[in-house]
Chains A and B, each alone.
Chain A
Amino acid sequence: DADVTQTPRNRITKTGKRIMLECSQTKGHDRMYWYRQDPGLGLQLIYYSFDVKDINKGEISDGYSVSRQAQAKFSLSLESAIPNQTALYFCATSEGVAEGSARETQYFGPGTRLLVL
């Protein structure tokens, strides 16, 4: 079984609709992240969370909100979807260890492909 799972894997929605993307992990990691990826732009950080009580904005948080329901679950919501939110969305986790450690690498879920019409 995959360590980081995302649902749904594909979603088509209409402008103005509210949608939620879900992420679950079995790695026991404290840190979780949401990214979006657009062609030619690389990965952009939307929100990240240290633990259940901690939520932080990333580079491009406008139009998005998140919820950390448990250590293992981190959801991303688009309150009112718009076409330029069409992208590939990735959830990632990391362990949270001493700085300068390779164990701080991030592990990515399979992605959710979102199309907003």
Chain B
Amino acid sequence: GQNIDQPTEMTATEGAIVQINCTYQTSGFNGLFWYQQHAGEAPTFLSYNVLDGLEEKGRFSSFLSRSKGYSYLLLKELQMKDSASYLCAVRDRRSSNTGKLIFGQGTTLQVKP
């Protein structure tokens, strides 16, 4: 089966760094996505990892360890507008020809002044 776990809520301070973790269990891993979703809005793509290591994109970075079934999203220099839900989604090999993703429940991040 497939299972994705993320913390439900996190709080951080403006200007700080926050790490949002995601652990997954899947029968044959084939890619992990991070999305950002502001309240009441559509999820938007942030990052993609398929190989082990760190992918950096401006203030956001995403890390993957396939052997540990683990990823994290790192947000630096937090801004108030970063307050949102962050969704981890995994694609397994059985879904690779469909593009199907399995989503975690999301982590709601609140950035405080």
Binding site for B on A (CB under 8 A): 4, 31, 33, 40-45, 48, 50, 56, 58, 88, 90, 94, 96, 99-100, 102, 104-111, 113
| A40 in contact with B105 given A48-B98, A100-B31 (CB within 8 Å) | yes
Indicate if the CB atoms of B101 and A106 lie closer than 8 Å: yes
B62 to chain A minimum Cβ distance, whole angstroms, is 11
What is the bound-complex CA distance between A100 and B30, given in angstroms?
A: 6
- Beyond A40-B8, A40-B105, A48-B100, is A109–B33 a contact (Cβ under 8 Å)? no
- Bound CA span A80–B106, Å: 30
Residues of A within 8 A of B45 (CB): 105-107
User: What is the CA–CA distance of A56 and B91 in the complex, to the nearest angstrom?
Assistant: 17
Q: Which residues of B contact A44 (CB under 8 A)?
A: 103
A45 to B2, CA, bound (A): 14
Cα distance A56–B100 in the bound complex, in angstroms: 11
Give the residue of A58, A104, A108, A111 whose beta carbon is less than 8 angstroms from that of B44: A108
**Chain B residues within an 8 Å CB radius of A48:** 98-100
Binds A, one of B12-20, B35-43, B63-71, B74-82: B35-43
Please give the distance in Å from B94's CB to the nearest CB on chain A: 11
